[in-house]
Amino acid sequence: MKLTLGKIFIEDVQFGKDTKVEGKTLFINKDELLDAVGESEYIDNIDIDITHPGDEVRITPVKDVIEPRVKVDGPGGIFPGMINKVQTVGSGKTHALKNVAVVTAGKIVGFQEGIIDMTGPGAEYSPFSKTHNIVVVANPREDVKQYDHEAAVRQIGFKAANFLGELAKNLTPDEEITYETLPLLQGVEKYPDLPKVGYVYMLQTQGLLHDTYVYGVDAKKIIPTFMYPTEMMDGAIVSGNCVSACDKNPTYVHQNNGIIEDLYEKHGKEINFVGVIVTNENVYLADKERSSDWTAKLTEYFGLDGVIVSQEGFGNPDTDLIMNCKKIEEKNIKTVIVTDEYAGRDGASQSLADADPKADAVVSNGNANEVIVLPPMKKIIGMTDYVDSIAGGFDGSLREDGSIEVEIQAITGATNETGFVKLTAKEY
Each as own residue / partner, the long-range contacts of residues 254-262 (CB below 8 Å, 24 or more positions apart, any chain) are 255/66, 255/67, 255/69, 255/96, 256/67, 256/420, 257/201, 257/229, 257/232, 257/418, 257/420, 258/418, 258/419, 258/420, 259/199, 259/308, 259/310, 259/338, 259/418, 259/419, 260/199, 260/229, 260/232, 260/233
Residue 390 CA to residue 47 CA, distance in Å, equals: 23
Q: Other CB atoms closer than 10 Å to residue 226's CB: what's the count?
A: 14
The DSSP 8-state label assigned to residue 186 in this structure reads H
**Which DSSP string do the residues of 201-226 spell out, in sequence order?**
EEE---STT--EEETTEEGGG---EE
Q: Which residues are catalytic?
A: 242
Closest listed residue to residue 50, CA positions, set 165, 134, 111, 121: 134
Contacts of 77 (CB under 8 A, 6+ apart): 71, 83, 84, 85, 87, 89
Q: Is there a contact between 205 and 142 (Cβ–Cβ < 8 Å)? A: no
SS3 343: coil
Pick from 88, 86, 95: nearest CA to 1? 88
For 324-338, give the secondary structure using H, E and C. Answer: HHHHHHCCCCEEEEE
DSSP class of 267: B
Phi, psi of 286 (to 5 degrees): -60, -40
Range list of H helices, 144-196:
146-165, 184-190
Q: How far apart are CA 366 and CA 370, in angstroms?
A: 9
Q: For 3-69, give the DSSP string.
A: EEEEEEE--EEEE-SS-EEETTEEEE-HHHHHHHH---TTEEEEEEEEE-TT-SEEEEEEEEEE--E
Sign of CA dihedral 90, 334, 210, 256: negative
